[in-house]
Amino acid sequence: MWKHASITRYRKIEIFNACVVTKLTYGLESAWLNKLECRRLDAYQNRCLRKICKVGPSYYSRVSNEEVLRLSGQTPLSHRLLMQQLHLYGRIARLPNEDPVRKSVLNTGDIQPKTAQFRRRQGRPRKCWARQVFNFALKAAQGLPELRRQLCTAAPTTLWKDTVQRYTAELPLAWKPGDAEPNTAGIAMD
């Protein structure tokens, strides 16, 4: 399909986003991926976009992955996934306190995630979804008071969506969720 000459590049990218990316990211918004898994996700996207844009591997063509993303007008899948996770966190935070999903993820009456009441067994993941996404939500809202204001039930949902959109747009293209955190200077976390 990607080698078919009568389909424009724009249409091929539309088909890629509609058929491949949606299947690839389905259900990942509720899972926390480590740095290696995010790199694999982005590498697959870059490989597909290189075929669509007819750009050879970077070793031969000397075209970076960031340039391929700019050429195709795409953002890395790890950034899209982070955006979906932040949107999901916002939806959970807006649920009523008696909702079972909210009870299992967040403290009652607050937007902070529940802390583990048990000792993590050996071999279990160290990072949980709620804690990691909450940390990114704090950075996106620039502090806990602002996060509480944006995720209260009286605030419009577009306020949180605009904040998430702005935050993910400011992330550098080469940044992955497991890397050192960008934009952390001067942000109050309490």
Residue 94 resides in a domain: yes
Same domain, 103 and 162: yes
Q: Verify that 128 and 69 share a domain, yes or no.
A: no
- Do 103 and 150 share a domain, yes or no? yes
Q: Give the DSSP per-residue string, 4-27.
A: -TTS-HHHHHHHIIIIIIHHHHTT
In a domain, 184, yes or no: no
Specify the pLDDT at position 172. Answer: 76
Residue 105: the pLDDT is 86
Residue 137 makes CB contacts below 8 A (sequence gap 6+) with 86, 89, 90, 147, 151
- Condensed to tens digits (0 to 9), the pLDDT of residues 104-139 reads 888 888 888 887 666 667 776 667 888 888 989 999
End residue of a domain, out of 20, 51, 75: 75
Whether residues 59 and 115 share a domain: the answer is no
105 shares a domain with 40 = no
Measured distance CA(40)–CA(94) in Å, rounded: 32
pLDDT of residue 18: 92
Look up the pTM and report it.
Answer: 0.81
* One domain for residues 35 and 114: no
Spans in the chain with pLDDT lower than 70: 116-120, 124-126, 173-190
Residues 17 and 40 in one domain: yes
Name the domain count of the chain: 2
**CA–CA distances in Å: residue 175 to residues 33, 35, 134, 171:** 14, 10, 18, 7
Task: Give me the half-sphere count of Cα atoms (radius 13 Å) on the Cβ side of residue 75.
Answer: 14
Residues 101 and 68 in one domain: no
Tell me if 178 is assigned to some domain.
no
pLDDT of residue 181: 58
Residue ranges making up the domain that contains 15: 9-75
- Indicate whether 2 belongs to any domain: no
CA distance 92 to 151: 9
